[in-house]
Amino acid sequence: MDEEVVTALKRVAKGSVFVLFGFAVYSIGIFLFRALSARGLPIEDFGVLSFLLSLTTTASIIATLGIVSGLPKFIVEHRVKGRKAGELIGSAFLLTLLSSVLTSLLLLLAYPFVQTFVGVDFSLYTLFSLSVIFFAILMTSVGADRGFGNYVVKAFFSDGLRGIILGIGGLLIYYTGILLLAGVSYFLAFLLPSVLAFVYVYRRYSPKPSTIFLKELAVFSVSLLFVAFLVRTMLSTDVLMLSYFLPEREVGLYGSAQTLSVLGTSVHNAILFLFFPFVTSFFARKMFSKADRFYKLVTKWVLALSLPLFSILFFYAPQTLTIVFGREYSPASGPLRILSLGYLVHVFLGANGASLISLGYIADLTTPVLLSLFINLLLNVLLIPRLGIVGAAVATALSLIFLNLFMSYVLWKRTGVHPLYGKLLVPVASTGTALLLSYLLSYLSPLLQLTVFLVTYTIFNILLGVFEEEDREILRTLKRKLLS
């Protein structure tokens, strides 16, 4: 048992509690925002909202220039070399501020073009466009805090507060049926947290406005931006092309499936946040065997915690859609199942993309991402006219699976790091057993079936030996802290 790996795992486990809590608040908030908007607005208006969310998210990724992932890498490398990071953080803020203002202006100038295929009010469009500036400030603050292995900005400002504002916005939309409130809520959900996050980062890390690292950050970040933009474009292609080929009603149906399927990656995203600085530290010191062990254990944690949710989304898709969005959204059960499978493979193969970024292998990311985008575009063009929203889901899931397989291969080829080992089969086998027992007891109420599934899943994970020595050491540490 490697002590340094265990120490890193302990910090991830401890921080993940807070990150998962914040992420849960955000997930509930954005979930309420989307679900209550779907219930409170006509399906056509919800289609417009889904389009704006996809467009703004893509634009926001462009505005941040890849700093969200690039800045933590630079901070970790500075700390390994014993350097201070104040001027580095200041350079990052300056870079993203300039970029986000420019991106926001370009969005506003593009309004006449957007109007040609989606009928959206200018006031609503303006609120979403301006939110890009505050998104960039907030995400740069998150990246700065993340580089020190901390989680305060992420858990409390970026996720917690933002989730609360979006949840309240969803309630207002549900009771009033006013689409403009979606823009107001979304704008405030970035404005308030970004201000608080910047104040926190300024007081704790003393960023200094500087141009010293602008070139270094810009060169790395622009290449990373290109990859991030391609990935986001790939994941947004389905909604954008549905908006072109099909009526807003179909886009709204697909948006409900997309919202639920992404929930399955919640644990992955939360733990990945803390995984990144530690795996970067191992790679920076050429400790590939430690990085490999760390990668495997974290992937096992993520898979074990994610499989129950994926099982519910896949096997109870119509019921989940009906409960969350309403009976009229049940036709989206096919896309929900297909998208869930794609995201499950993404979780199963671990943090391959983040690991390549931490190594600085941006060029190695470009080829698989470009190929995946091409596959997604081609499949969307071929399948949407024939299969509608099911075709869009197939296109996205297949391109996502291809991308993750390719990135995992590149990571293994370059470093020998990969997620595959025997213990990954334990949560898979436990899921199969729990689903079988739940099916045999299908005469029970859905709540009792879910209880049986979760209890059986937990017991079989323990019996089949999901916990290894490192896991048991972490549990002992947590137990000591709880009892002290």
Residue 200: predicted pLDDT? 94
- Tens of pLDDT, residue by residue over 91-147, are 888 888 888 999 999 999 988 888 887 778 889 899 999 999 999 999 999 988 888
- If pLDDT is split at 50, 70 and 90, which confidence band does 480 have? low
- Tens of pLDDT, residue by residue over 357-409, are 878 787 788 888 889 999 999 999 999 988 888 999 999 999 999 999 999 99
Residue 171: predicted pLDDT? 93
CB atoms within 10 A of CB 425: 14
**Structural element, H or E, at residue 67:** helix 67-80
Concatenating the DSSP letter of every residue in 197-247 gives: HHHHHHHHH-----STTHHHHHHHHHHHHHHHHHHHHHHHHHHHHHHHHS-
User: Is the pLDDT reported for residue 478 higher than 70?
Assistant: no
User: Is the pLDDT reported for residue 482 higher than 70?
Assistant: no
- If pLDDT is split at 50, 70 and 90, which confidence band does 13 have? low
Residue 2: predicted pLDDT? 60
Contacts of 208 (CB under 8 A, 6+ apart): 86, 87, 89, 90
The mean of the pLDDT values for the chain is 84
Residue 479: predicted pLDDT? 58
Concatenating the DSSP letter of every residue in 396-428 gives: HHHHHHHHHHHHHHHHHHHHS-----GGGHHHH
Rounded Cα distance between 130 and 376, Å, is 29
**Structural element, H or E, at residue 252:** helix 248-263
Percent of the chain, pLDDT > 90?
23
Rounded Cα distance between 154 and 146, Å, is 8
DSSP assignment, residue 118?
Answer: S
CA atoms within 13 A on the CB side of 392: 27
Calculate helix-pair angle for 214-245, 389-415, nearest 10 degrees: 150
DSSP assignment, residue 157?
Answer: I
Average pLDDT in the 200-222 region? Answer: 77
DSSP assignment, residue 330?
Answer: G
What are the sequence ranges of the domains in the chain?
3-420
Weakest mean pLDDT among 9-18, 24-33, 364-373, 430-439: 9-18
CB-CB contact of 305 with 364 (8 Å) = no
- Tell me the residue type at 185: S
Report the candidate in 272, 281, 354 with the shortest Cα–Cα distance to residue 12: 272
- Tell me the residue type at 479: K
Average pLDDT in the 257-280 region? Answer: 80
Residue 194: predicted pLDDT? 95
Select, from the ranges 20-24, 284-288, 383-387, the one with the highest average predicted confidence (pLDDT).
383-387
User: Is the pLDDT reported for residue 484 higher than 60?
Assistant: no
CA angle 222, 228, 231 (to 5 degrees): 150
Concatenating the DSSP letter of every residue in 165-203 gives: HHHHHHHHHHHH--THHHHHHHHHHHHHHHHHHHHHHHH
- If pLDDT is split at 50, 70 and 90, which confidence band does 240 have? confident
- Torsion 436-31-179-242 (CA) sign: negative
Rounded Cα distance between 155 and 16, Å, is 9
Residue 318: predicted pLDDT? 86
R_g over Cα of the chain: 22
Average pLDDT in the 194-223 region? Answer: 81
CB-CB contact of 250 with 242 (8 Å) = yes
Task: From residue 227, give the alpha-carbon distance in Å to each of 34, 66, 454.
Answer: 28, 9, 38
